[in-house]
Amino acid sequence: MVAAWRYDLDLTISPLVLVAAPLVVTVASAAGYAFAHGLPNPRITHILTQLLIFVIVMFSPISFPVERLPGWLEAIRQWLPPQHAAVVMRGTLTEGLTEEALLPSFAILVAWAVGCWLITSWVLTRRR
């Protein structure tokens, strides 16, 4: 709301935001659980999460233009959750993207969430 006021944005909140916001949080939590339980050493987990925080903040689709990335990194970024999380949140809070345009991003986020929960489940069942 502050950004809408400060930058004079027109927020058009879609009912899909009720799906998008929990999905984004679920993907982030699922990835965190997968890292925390999948890596055997807590120090490696700590280093990896700190590195990921740095990379995600520095190269997020909000603060870093995709045109500045090398081609190979741009191709990898298209399959990672931060890009699609930004797309679904923007698409459900503003006008410009149709629901059909959001479907690939929703699908990739769901795939990441399911994949991360499967990895976590597999690791936890192996430890018993």
Would 8 be classed as within a structural domain? Answer: no
Would 86 be classed as within a structural domain? Answer: yes
Contact 105, 84 (CB under 8 A): yes
Would 5 be classed as within a structural domain? Answer: no
Domain containing 104: what range?
Answer: 13-126
Would 1 be classed as within a structural domain? Answer: no
- Residue 25 reports pLDDT greater than 90: yes
Tell me the average pLDDT across 43-58: 86
- Model pTM? 0.83
Q: How many structural domains are present in the chain?
A: 1
Would 96 be classed as within a structural domain? Answer: yes
Residue 71: the pLDDT is 85
Would 99 be classed as within a structural domain? Answer: yes
- Residue 44 reports pLDDT greater than 80: yes
